[in-house]
Structure 1
């Protein structure tokens, strides 16, 4: 089993940020007189910082504290050796993989032309690239999000939607939204759902429900604040890493609502040229309730950034699993591939996940083991269509069933279906298959990810999400909301693709979305308290006024 993460403090993360910014002196000052346990990955970071500052004596001490043994000065007091530790799958001498703590090394650290990202337990890549560069050979393409441009959504702009009067945010691979009840966290997710429906060509109740968006009358969709005039339209837009963009403004009369929203304006570009730029409502030869961009993308190459963006948006959905549906006793009203929005078809999804990972060989088996480790009472999980001996005939059942083997029960009487198993196990499998299956949406949301999960289990699950998404494909993205403070302790804020947002309402009642960054005050407080505690204490904001 993989070792449990020993999370870095914000001070360590800040030191890495300064080193990445090309300032090893400040990084060294941040860690000065800092008490670090032997074997902690911060010692590896400190050794790297000391080496950049040419302080070889301190490098030796730092490296010995990380390894827990004397080093061979001739061969190990080198940058190459430090990088080889980072490049070692599964860690060094049974330590947790350094890629868990430092997933991306930028050019300012490695000297390469592009950043290098490695998911923990994945194959080595850094040393091969360094050797290639020294011999003037081409470096390898590992599909790293930061090594080459892709269709990840990086910027979101929302105007006049529900409690979000005006918001601009940037997204990473993992995007966690915290805040009190009713501040507008779900509204942000639903704005993307509305945009996804628009990208598919129609914004009506059916297209919204299919994406997990709550249908509503225009008077409930359009912002309505005492301090501001009600906007004539809703405006939502996104921009990708390649600068492809899609933006719409949507109309629906307050007094006489129509079944479908009308497109006032619609714009689509691939970063190089405009593909759609039209005030659709003013074009008499077009149906104002039908999106033009959805028709235009059929003429684009699949590799065109605009086509890739539209596909991502069309796939987007907000998942909100519930226990009866996950157990298979209530049908899912919105089925999607590979799993319904409420968790329907979980056995079929897990069967596909298991086959997919087993086909990936040792690396896939390692990922599957990570999933099963989170359900500590099972020895194995399988699927079966034979449930006569496992379920009462009075219990509703699906054609395919999950079968859990409980390691504490007697052989022959230790098999359980999803109906009898711990609900926490079902939520773990639900999240895992959405992150890991290729047929899952490239960008998706899970509202209330923390429901039904023990705080410690939630922390462990969240610590795995970024790696699972990257394993699937480098451009996969997840947005999720949580209320359980333990979720924050599972976030590796050192990963440049992990974003944490505080969502609040200002004095006018408008939703404000603020990305939490590492301030000196927060770094100092985190040395005494974990992020979960700091949130409860009010240092992060995003708490109710009760």
Structure 2
């Protein structure tokens, strides 16, 4: 899990550090830089995969523009400074980091170049599993030799015990490196900024550039088919979450994985006929997409959703954040969410350290700033009574509201 990120010189994020949780919500006025934060993480992910071409960045939900506008422009000479993104993965302490330094000479058709600095343990082997197996066999060999010596009553060989201890330490360190390498690979290959669109969710024939789900929701039908076929228990979770809609009775997906059958059947408990996704409520399709995204093992482990509140009733917004937090923990996902709907905030449990709220605004010079709202600094009413977070936001206690009118 990504525990923190430092962003320097990327669009409006001139110098920013964030300590992240499992579920992270960003709220603030239009243009404050919420999406820029999501993109900066996406840019670091692309850099770690050595894929900084425009096609790859766009397919991951990053708004690509000319190189000079990808950098902060608050000072005259700032366009020559690199974009610097530092990510931390250690759950317990932020003492291991990887820094991505991105440069571009700003000439026509120039490509981004990246220099990587890191103090994390790296695996140099092309076949880490075979290398681990060799360490394991070596340890077994030492232990077998020790057992033989014990049988013959000559186990006072301290040198052999030392060899066994060293071999065990090597294996433990290698396991740590494997775990960290896997975390980085997941981050590099998977991070996507989703922004589902009504048209993509209604017309299943559209295909995205990435699988299983495109940034606008493409590929949802195929993912539902796969889940229904391979993991009925997980599919039943989707059905259960859709009962948030009082009219919903059941959903049926085609059994064939072919593209010929491109409809799902939805049953309204108040009427006798079924209908497909083209007639479904827009909010229903968004919740269907979000739930499938969180429960599938094929979707990214770290991702973002821009405007999570789109098309959702305010009370449903509150409930969907509670459900997302539960599913994220259950299926080991980490998510960053932007919103403009204060009702989203009421779904957060700030007593849970894995749920975080950030209020985003701009400084006097225009740079993006983030303030974390924790349980300790959560506003209270004048009578010292707890306030709903939505009410505190609308009253201006949290910040993040326009000041120009």
TM-score of the superposed pair, with normalisation by structure 2? 0.80
Aligned length: 351
1:355: Cα distance to partner? 4.7
1:307: Cα distance to partner? 3.6
Q: Look up the match of 1:422.
A: 281
Q: Look up the match of 1:536.
A: 394
Q: Look up the match of 1:379.
A: 249
**Alpha-carbon spacing, 1:357–1:483, altered in 2? closer, same or farther (3 Å):** farther
Q: Look up the match of 1:308.
A: 183
2: CA distance, partners of 1:504 / 1:345 = 35
**Alpha-carbon spacing, 1:247–1:381, altered in 2? closer, same or farther (3 Å):** same
1:356: Cα distance to partner? 5.5
1:485: Cα distance to partner? 0.8
**Alpha-carbon spacing, 1:353–1:274, altered in 2? closer, same or farther (3 Å):** closer
Q: Look up the match of 2:112.
A: 261
1:172: Cα distance to partner? 0.6
Q: Look up the match of 2:221.
A: 347
Q: Look up the match of 1:162.
A: 11
Q: Look up the match of 1:189.
A: 38
Q: Look up the match of 2:232.
A: 358
Q: Look up the match of 2:336.
A: 479
Are 2:20 and 1:171 aligned?
Answer: yes
Q: Look up the match of 1:105.
A: none
SS in 2 for 1:419: helix
Which digits, 9 at most, give the CA deviation of each residue in 1:346-393, with x for residues without a partner? Answer: 222223344565346xxx74x34541222321100111379xxxxxxx
Structure 1 gap ranges (5+): 1-151, 276-295, 387-396
Which digits, 9 at most, give the CA deviation of each residue in 1:154-208, with x for residues without a partner? Answer: 0101110000000110111100000000010000111111111111112110110
The runs of 4+ residues in structure 1 deviating greater than 6 Å are none
SS in 1 for 2:46: helix
1:329: Cα distance to partner? 6.2
SS in 1 for 2:392: helix
Which digits, 9 at most, give the CA deviation of each residue in 1:222-243, with x for residues without a partner? Answer: 1001487345210112111255
**Alpha-carbon spacing, 1:228–1:464, altered in 2? closer, same or farther (3 Å):** farther
1:316: Cα distance to partner? 0.3
Larger RCO, structure (CA 8 Å, separation 6 or more): 2
- 8 Å CA contact retained: 1:320, 1:446: yes
Q: Matches of residues 217-366 of structure 1 in structure 2 within 5 Å?
A: 217-226=66-75, 229-242=78-91, 244-254=96-106, 256-263=107-114, 265-270=115-120, 273=121, 298=126, 300=128, 303-328=178-203, 331-337=206-212, 339-355=213-229, 358-359=232-233, 365=236
1:274: Cα distance to partner? 5.7
TM-score of the superposed pair, with normalisation by structure 1? 0.60
1: CA distance, partners of 2:279 / 2:198 = 11
- 8 Å CA contact retained: 2:314, 2:343: yes
